[in-house]
Structure 1
Amino acid sequence: MTETVSYRRDGDIGIVCIDNPPVNALSHSVRSGLMAALEQSSADDSRALVVHCAGRTFIAGADITEFGKPPREPILGEVLARLDAHDKLTVAAVHGTALGGGLETALCCHYRCALPSAKVGLPEVKLGLLPGAGGTQRTPRLTGLETALELITSGNPMPAPRAADAGLVDKVIEGDDLLAGALAYTRELLDGEAPLRRASELPLQLDDAGRELLATARERLARRTRGENAPQRIVDCLEAAATLPFDEGLRRERELFMACMEDPQSGALRHMFFAEREAAKVQGLPRDTATQPVDTVGIIGAGTMGGGIAMCFANAGIPVTLIDMSDEGLERGLGLIRKNYATSVKRGKLSQDKADAALALIGGSTDYAALAEVDLVVEAVFESLELKQDVFRQLDGICKPQAILATNTSYQDVNAIAGVTSRPQQVLGMHFFSPANVMKLLEVVRADASSDTILATAMAVAKRIGKVPVLAGVCYGFIGNRMLRHYQREAQLCLIEGATPAQIDGAMERWGMAMGPLAVGDLAGLDIGYKARQGLTTEQKGDPRSYRVPDLLVEQGRLGQKSGQGYYQYDPETRKRSDDPAVMAIVEAAAEELGVERRAISDDEIISRLTTALINEGAHILEEGIAQRPGDIDVVYAYGYGFPRHRGGPMHLADHLGTGAMYETVCRYRDTLSADNWQPSELLAKLAAEGKTFAEWQRER
């Protein structure tokens, strides 16, 4: 035994207790202790064995801190082979979550019981991996191929009652005392002379329907996961489970697991796993920094963004007062919220009771005085600095002194907004992404005077409403939109220099982006960028080649999906896009007007220019201190802009490709494309000269 695993008896039943807080991860001490407990159980006169865990959960998975390190025996596969071969009836008692190696451990027991609140799952695919200790071989023998496919390729947990229906759980234990229920269930099995039912010995065959299921799954996953390798390897493993003897299937699973471990995609996804958790921490902010209670919220602006933000808070059980300047605007906004909830109910994403409960928490008014006692106000009006300043002047005179005043601005100067109030320490940015009730990213923008208390409160509130918060400093566009300008610039330049909208979007989508840059413009509305440019100086607008085409499109009434045509034509019923020859006529006319000689541009050049633009500007942002960490930038782009998680975000991609190679690429584009557009970051140049990565730079700070 070890200090994390104990063994005792309750009459003729042995009890193994795993106690490795906080989540009972399968560390070396747990594996060693479990092996020792099995030996002790085999040696005594007990008739059965119950495996359970102390604390808030069953085994929640492998010890991720051991990834990338030399394996220490006993490895998990050896422990589970010993558990599978145990000569006495074994029962796993599950509470909390049994995930990854935790579920694989439970699957090696002869029977499984669980509390109704428990969940089971195999989430390895989310880290670019696959279950490597028999999960792909035992699961389909218990559930069938279809359920196993969904469970393992989605990585999503399954509630215990559903797991019982699927065959993964044999008994749902009612009541609060799981161990007592598990012991009673084990005695029932003993009294009934239940067989030692090993999942590894259950039959599984691949018939024609199974072959069609697997083939369909491959096609669906190829579309959904855009180049990720782990999902396809999972299908390979499930096929092996249905066509090979169990031991050979295990070997195939192990081969493919090791291929995943060595795959840069898994390294990228593991980076994202840790980066998301780090992003929620504010550097220099003491962990015990006090937070303010946020029990009521006001939202200024009942448009699409304001309504979406209101839904975020209502979904978390926080009452919301939605403000608009007119009764018509307010009713329109509330109507859109009702429509969104009705759609969620119709699609099965939300129950009617939960939708009704959330709607009951959203009230409306046209009078700012309704916000006198709220704890947090989020302003979501049109992107005009003067308008936002006017709103904050009014809030300053109405809201209670300790209320937090947040602006949802995408670009504006939060310091200039805070400066019109008598409480700049209570002002910060909370930049939601559209649609706010769907997108998980929240940029929390620290102004010069923002207090530690409201920063800590905003980060805590973000997590409470289910967002992934990232701290940003004040600059035009903060982290995400500042970088987006350079990404979109290169997309526009590739277009006017020789590419087509379909080629640009297709290249980026095949590379892994959720949507191509021009299609994104059509979705958002080309008039939004057009109006924003009208308020900029010629110098601020930058290279005229980078905005001439979208300006011409808007001036011809091509606003994007909302008008049925932008860079593409859109079917009025399905919104399906199709190429439009008229667009290329506009592009070619713009190129001639600006003296651009069009040429053939390869997909590789498109991908390189767009991603390198993100990386170079991300480096500028880091050297200026606008972002705390390289990983924060990666989180912003993965959650806010559809950057493929299996590539790890722009800064991780730079580390993978090499900072030296990235610096050389920036310099080449500076010399061959535009010195104004391609000024190498000093930080990128420094890392290239020293042969270091952004990750190493962060660790050394």
Structure 2
Amino acid sequence: MTVASPPVSPTTRALSQDLTADGVLVLTIDVPGEKLNMLGKAMMQELLALLGEIEARTDVRAVVIRSGKADNFIAGADIKDFVAIKSSLEGETLSRQGQSALDRVAALKVPVVAAIHGSCLGGGLETALACRYRIATDHPKTSLGLPEVNLGIIPGAGGTQRLPRLVGLRTGLDLILTGRPLKAMRALRAGVVDEVVPPPVLLEAARRAAVKLADGSLVPGRRGIPLSERLLRPVIFSKARSTVREKTHGHYPAPLAAIDVVEKGTATSLEKGLELEAKAFGELSVSPVSRALVSVFFATQEIKKDAGYPEGTEARQVHKLGVVGAGLMGAGIAAAGAEAGLTVRMKDTTTDALARGLRYAREVFEERLERRSLSRYEFAARMNRISATQDYSGFKRADLVIEAVFEDLALKRKVLAEVEAATRDDCVFASNTSSLPIGEIAKASRRPSRVLGMHFFSPVNKMPL
């Protein structure tokens, strides 16, 4: 199947190219006027036109695909194209168009290397999977995943077929069914990427790999679907279905559809598997569940756009955080602060309360350690950022203090007075109150302009603000 490729205006081009002396064509993706690179219809048309040029050229030995954005490769498909779908046939057609473009990337006679920095999600990862080799940076913002199930759909540009064939059934199913992104080192261990390098050397590493792939000196190993998984196919898919039903109680059709497509698709050819994927994508794209989840997504994005302060306001930098109260809420806030890279000083009145608070923070990070989303070094670094005290020692250098004590006006006013006596005049005091007026808490303050409300939901590490 082919897609029409109308001419693209130079002012709206998302793709630029540069041919190096060693014959490597570096394609840079930079959608004009947008913070994120999104895989939309316009970019697909431009990509198809460019692929036609590359297929006809004889001076290109290899291709590197990189991003011109600061912290994202391709953040996913353009949701605006998705919500315009009116029928399952339109959804299936959109999926087949994406598959067709990436099939041509995979079929190029010259090797293609994906140089990944920042978010590489959904259609972004599907683009990378169509490349022969993938290199990612070790930057914290680099993450790779297929989050489509969170929108009530399945990956529609080859993800359900290429990923399991690359990393195996169990790993592929886990990534597709959870929608959970992987940091670069976890992606390397899973077999999703072939190398992990520091950001400054990404392009050079990609060019070097491209040249080696072109001359045959680099032959990437592929684990694929191992024999053990081929023999245990019925068990693997039965277990996946029972786990999904237990978690969703049958309310979300996308995960079960993904299992069906992976099971049937990996038992046949890639071409047949892609047909199954496109058909399921089309059916899910117009389902009531998907429409509702997309509405939630857009509402969440609108909330994120509202910063709550006038445009151009310069944000206050916070380096040291004080937390008063070491209960579940206070300890959760302390863990969130440490996760954000802040030095955290947590206060409570007894050593037992502080011990419980530190233990809770440790458990938050231990859970991530067990899931391998944190390394032991990262776990230790986060715990080392949190210290405990029964008085206000160490609060003098705090930029921000958050109180998380009982919902009692007199107690909160008392804590505010103590904090003001122990901190600098420019320190900001934030109350985690859920019911008391901030103005009432601040009435006795010496610096009321530095008092504000900052409410967290519990548990802090699981509930988004």
TM-score in terms of structure 2 length? 0.81
Partner of 1:78: 100
Between stretches 72-81 and 208-217, larger displacement belongs to 72-81
- Tell me if 1:14 matches 2:28: no
Give per-residue Cα distances to partners, 1:606-637, cap 9 Å, x unaligned: xxxxxxxxxxxxxxxxxxxxxxxxxxxxxxxx
Q: Say if 2:62 and 2:214, in contact at 8 Å, map to a contact too.
A: no
d(CA) in 2 for partners of 1:198 and 1:315? 34
Partner of 1:5: 15
Q: Say if 1:59 and 1:99, in contact at 8 Å, map to a contact too.
A: yes
d(CA) in 1 for partners of 2:423 and 2:219? 69
In the TM superposition, residue 236 of structure 1 has moved relative to its aligned partner by: 0.9
* Larger-gyration structure (1/2): 1
Q: Which amino acid aligns with 1:55?
A: K
- Tell me if 1:338 matches 2:354: no
Q: Say if 1:47 and 1:89, in contact at 8 Å, map to a contact too.
A: no
d(CA) in 1 for partners of 2:382 and 2:271? 51
In the TM superposition, residue 212 of structure 1 has moved relative to its aligned partner by: 0.6
In the TM superposition, residue 194 of structure 1 has moved relative to its aligned partner by: 7.6
- Tell me if 1:231 matches 2:255: yes
Q: Say if 1:18 and 1:30, in contact at 8 Å, map to a contact too.
A: no
d(CA) in 2 for partners of 1:175 and 1:400? 38
d(CA) in 1 for partners of 2:390 and 2:228? 65
d(CA) in 2 for partners of 1:163 and 1:358? 22
d(CA) in 2 for partners of 1:189 and 1:22? 32
- Indicate the SS of the match to 2:73: coil
d(CA) in 1 for partners of 2:307 and 2:388? 38
Paired residue for 2:40, among 22, 27, 35?
A: 27
d(CA) in 2 for partners of 1:260 and 1:249? 17
Q: For 1:90-101, list aligned pairs within 5 A.
A: 90-101=112-123
Partner of 2:427: 403
**Structure 2: which 5+ runs fail to align?**
1-6
Between stretches 74-83 and 257-266, larger displacement belongs to 74-83
- Tell me if 1:295 matches 2:310: no
Q: Say if 1:300 and 1:381, in contact at 8 Å, map to a contact too.
A: yes
Q: For 1:254-265, list aligned pairs within 5 A.
A: 254-265=278-289
d(CA) in 1 for partners of 2:111 and 2:159? 20
Give per-residue Cα distances to partners, 1:243-270, cap 9 Å, x unaligned: 2332222121111112221122222322
d(CA) in 2 for partners of 1:214 and 1:236? 8
- Indicate the SS of the match to 2:333: helix
Change over 3 Å in CA distance of 1:15–1:377 after alignment to 2: closer
In the TM superposition, residue 283 of structure 1 has moved relative to its aligned partner by: 7.4
Give per-residue Cα distances to partners, 1:410-466, cap 9 Å, x unaligned: 322322212232433322222223334x2434xxxxxxxxxxxxxxxxxxxxxxxxx
Partner of 1:618: none
Partner of 1:426: 450
Between stretches 290-299 and 360-369, larger displacement belongs to 360-369
Change over 3 Å in CA distance of 1:276–1:418 after alignment to 2: same
Paired residue for 1:179, among 203, 211, 224?
A: 203
Partner of 2:50: 37
Paired residue for 1:143, among 159, 163, 167?
A: 167
Q: Which amino acid aligns with 1:340?
A: Y
Q: Say if 1:12 and 1:45, in contact at 8 Å, map to a contact too.
A: no
Change over 3 Å in CA distance of 1:198–1:45 after alignment to 2: farther
Q: Say if 1:52 and 1:179, in contact at 8 Å, map to a contact too.
A: no
The share of aligned pairs that are identical, in percent, is 36
Paired residue for 2:269, among 242, 245, 248?
A: 245
Paired residue for 1:68, among 55, 71, 83?
A: 83
Partner of 1:376: 400
Higher relative contact order (CA 8 A, sep 6+): 2
Q: For 1:296-375, list aligned pairs within 5 A.
A: 296-325=320-349, 329=350, 331-344=351-364, 347=367, 348-349=369-370, 351-368=375-392, 371-375=395-399
Q: Say if 2:428 and 2:450, in contact at 8 Å, map to a contact too.
A: yes
TM-score in terms of structure 1 length? 0.56
In the TM superposition, residue 204 of structure 1 has moved relative to its aligned partner by: 9.6
Q: Which amino acid aligns with 2:237?
A: L
Paired residue for 2:176, among 128, 131, 152?
A: 152
- Tell me if 1:124 matches 2:148: yes
Partner of 2:131: 109
In the TM superposition, residue 286 of structure 1 has moved relative to its aligned partner by: 1.1
d(CA) in 2 for partners of 1:369 and 1:195? 59
In the TM superposition, residue 167 of structure 1 has moved relative to its aligned partner by: 3.8
**Structure 1: which 5+ runs fail to align?**
442-467, 469-701
d(CA) in 1 for partners of 2:25 and 2:197? 19
In the TM superposition, residue 108 of structure 1 has moved relative to its aligned partner by: 2.1
In the TM superposition, residue 297 of structure 1 has moved relative to its aligned partner by: 2.7
In the TM superposition, residue 174 of structure 1 has moved relative to its aligned partner by: 6.7
d(CA) in 2 for partners of 1:51 and 1:295? 39
In the TM superposition, residue 104 of structure 1 has moved relative to its aligned partner by: 1.5
Partner of 1:535: none
Change over 3 Å in CA distance of 1:429–1:164 after alignment to 2: closer
Q: Which amino acid aligns with 1:100?
A: G
Q: Say if 1:52 and 1:58, in contact at 8 Å, map to a contact too.
A: no
Change over 3 Å in CA distance of 1:169–1:290 after alignment to 2: closer
Q: Say if 2:122 and 2:155, in contact at 8 Å, map to a contact too.
A: yes
Change over 3 Å in CA distance of 1:278–1:261 after alignment to 2: same
Change over 3 Å in CA distance of 1:282–1:196 after alignment to 2: closer
Q: Say if 1:341 and 1:355, in contact at 8 Å, map to a contact too.
A: no
The two structures, once aligned, show a CA RMSD in angstroms of 3.4
What is the aligned residue count?
436
